[in-house]
Amino acid sequence: MDDALLHAIAGRFGTPTYVYDLDLITRRRRELGRLLPRAALRYAAKANPNGAVLRHLAALGAGAEVITLGELERALRAGVEPPDILVGGPRQDTELVARSSEAGVGLASLDSPDQWRIWRDHAGDVQMLVRVNPGLDPRTHEHLATGAATSKFGLPPAAALELGREVADAGLLAGFHVHAGSMIRDLAVYDAILDVLAPLYDALPGRPLVDLGGGFAVPDFPLEAFARRAQRLAAQLGARLLLEPGRFLVAESGVLLTRVLHVKRDGPTRHVVADAGMAELLRPALYGAVHPIRVVSSGAAAAVASGPEDTLDIDGPLCENADRLGRDRRLPAVAAGTLLAVDEAGAYGFAMASNYASSPRPAEVAVEAGVARLVRRRESVADLWRLEIEPPP
């Protein structure tokens, strides 16, 4: 997506607006297929559940990993085949389990024995994975370290084996599942995972699947080296590899367009106040995520973008000091009205957007073959109270 197109999108649909490059998603999906041709892929819908994105990935042959009833219904609505849906996560209450079974999903990943007790009454032919907490340091942010011993996910190996035996006795155990964390760069993590999983597959041989989750760092994840290591791991366990990529498929496809409202040049820090902030993109405030931010340089903005750079804080418009898109960024001199692009925003961007401070959530636009189309309208102020129940007159 070139800057001229981004300017046209901002002019047509306003700001803040999320823009997704579907052609880039296609390239990422094909890259995974080329390097991991035998791996089963279940797109982690929580990364970006927009219907256009889900439909695009379904057409490319990706299944879906869902953790809520809403995600399940979104996946089904987008055309994901039920056998290609994996239900995971800590929720899995009676409502979600019953609907999943009714829909004919192919897999569930058990996070606890309590979930298995619900599934026993509804499972039918649904095959089960048991999620293992490997108790390792995935070398990522604390909030993203889902495989740490203190995280809330999965079971310690001994407990996972005990649950696995019970599920195997019911004829429903497909294998085990480990998701070490998100934004993983150190591939040595997967060696540690093999050390945890090998005794489980030795104890319960003949399981067809091993699920390594997702969490690949963006950008520049060493995918080729990972593919070699992951396929070797699966071969050692005698199982087919299953992956749940989310961020890797969609993060770099997404841009958050935002306009500068004000510039404050007095004081030790120069502040640029934009019309997007933590209500639109929570990741910087939630766990210190760093997104590239740039001036969209086209037309009248080209002269600005070629000017001298300043060190600036790019702030959101809300009354929270955590409401920042980026700190100490080197950008060309900007002014009110300058269009900025927050890159790598296609994952956990709109998905985490909120109505905090009664902020209407932004529009979403998909681009394919250079053609932009609105795929979710901007919320209006009236939408903020559309579901509220007014008192009688």
pLDDT at 255: 98
Task: Compute the distance between CA of residue 10 and CA of residue 327 in angstroms, rounded to an integer.
Answer: 24
CA dist 222 and 228 (Å) reads: 10
Give the pLDDT of residue 299: 57
Spelled out in words, what is the top-level CATH class assigned to the domain 3-18+252-378? mainly beta
3-state SS track over the chain: CCHHHHHHHHHHHCCCEEEEEHHHHHHHHHHHHHHCCCCEEEEEHHHCCCHHHHHHHHHCCCEEEECCHHHHHHHHHCCCCHHHEEECCCCCCHHHHHHHHHHCCCEEEECCHHHHHHHCCCCCCCEEEEEECCCCCCCCCHHHCCCCCCCCCCECHHHHHHHHHHHHHCCCEEEEECCCCCCECCCHHHHHHHHHHHHHHHHCCCCCEEECCCCECCCCCCHHHHHHHHHHHHHHHCCEEEECCCHHHHHHHEEEEEEEEEEECCCCCCEEEECCCCCCCCHHHHHCCCCCEEECCCCCHHHHHCCCEEEEEEECCCCCCCCEEEEEEEEECCCCCCEEEECCCCCCCHHHCCCHHHCCCCEEEEEECCEEEEEECCCCHHHHHCCCCCCCC
Annotated domain spans of the chain: 3-18+252-378, 22-250
Q: What per-residue confidence (pLDDT) applies to 303?
A: 45
Beta bridge partner(s), residue 339: 259
CATH superfamily placement of domain 22-250:
Alanine racemase (3.20.20.10)
pTM over 0.75: yes
Residue from 158, 319, 369, 387 carrying the catalytic annotation: 319
Write down the pLDDT at residue 198. Answer: 94
Active site residue 164: no
pLDDT value for 190: 85
Structural contact between residues 119 and 128, judged by C-beta atoms closer than 8 angstroms: yes
Centroid of chain to Cα 34: 22
Along the 393 residues of the chain, how does pLDDT read in single tens digits?
A: 899 999 999 999 999 999 999 999 999 999 999 999 999 999 999 999 999 999 999 999 999 999 999 999 999 999 999 999 999 999 999 999 999 999 999 999 999 999 999 999 998 899 999 999 987 765 544 544 455 566 788 999 999 999 999 999 999 999 999 988 777 888 888 888 889 999 999 999 999 999 999 989 899 899 999 999 999 999 999 999 999 999 999 999 999 999 999 999 888 889 999 999 999 999 999 989 999 999 998 755 444 445 567 899 999 999 999 999 999 999 987 999 999 999 999 999 999 999 999 999 999 999 999 999 999 999 999 999 999 998 877
